[in-house]
């Protein structure tokens, strides 16, 4: 009987660990796809560059998008989050089928970034931030000299 209790505790911690791995994978995919180079609010990544290579942008977009959605599913993201992610990715990948104008749209539309952020917000709401990310954000919040505001 005690094994059942420990299994449920292990299940919860395993679920949280999977969700945090998905959060980190989403971070990698969004940076690689849409923010390798950031200029203010705009970014350019592999997805935007490959959009101009017929077929390659579509293959990359579908592959990276499928990976994001799979991570979302394995992390236990809500159906609404998965649907929103899929909608962003479908619009992005459909634009790849239209020469020039669609490629330009794909270059400027950060679908992978938006889908990844949706997944990350869902994970944060259910499981919190990964510990190392939370620690890094807290460190940055303290400022350059490690002091909080008002000290």
SS (HEC) of the chain: CHHHHHHHHHHHHHHHHHHHHHHHHHHHHHHHHHCCEEECCEEECHHHHHCCCCCHHHHHHHHHHHHHHHHHHHHCCCHHHHHHHHHHHHHHHHHCCCCCHHHHHHHHCCHHHHHHHHHHHHHHHHHCCCHHHHHHHHHHHHCCCCCCCCC
Residue 96: the pLDDT is 87
What six digits make up the tokens of 79?
A: 């159906």
Examine the pLDDT at 150 and tell me if it is beyond 70: no
% of the chain beyond a pLDDT of 90: 68
What is the pLDDT, as a whole number, of residue 6? Answer: 44
Give tens-digit pLDDT for 22-73: 999 999 999 999 999 988 888 899 999 999 998 999 999 999 999 999 999 9
* Predicted local distance difference test score (pLDDT) of residue 7: 47
- pLDDT tens sequence across 68-93: 999 999 999 999 999 999 999 999 99
> pTM of this prediction?
0.83
Q: 64 with 29: CB under 8 angstroms? A: yes
Average pLDDT, the chain: 88
Would you say residue 151 has pLDDT above 80? no
């Amino acid at each position: 009987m005690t094994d059942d209790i420990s299994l449920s505790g292990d299940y919860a911690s395993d679920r949280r660990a999977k969700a945090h791995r998905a959060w980190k994978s989403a971070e990698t995919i969004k940076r690689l796809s849409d923010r390798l180079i950031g200029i203010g609010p705009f970014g350019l990544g592999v997805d935007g560059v490959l959009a101009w290579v017929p077929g390659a942008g579509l293959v990359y977009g579908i592959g990276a998008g499928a990976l994001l959605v799979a991570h979302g599913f394995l992390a236990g993201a809500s159906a609404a989050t998965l649907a929103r992610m899929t909608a962003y990715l479908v619009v992005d990948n459909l634009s790849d089928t239209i020469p020039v104008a669609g490629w330009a749209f794909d270059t400027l539309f950060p679908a992978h970034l938006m889908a990844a952020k949706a997944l990350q917000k869902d994970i944060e709401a259910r499981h919190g931030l990964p510990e190392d990310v939370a620690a890094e954000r807290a460190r940055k919040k303290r400022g350059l000299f490690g002091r909080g505001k008002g000290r």
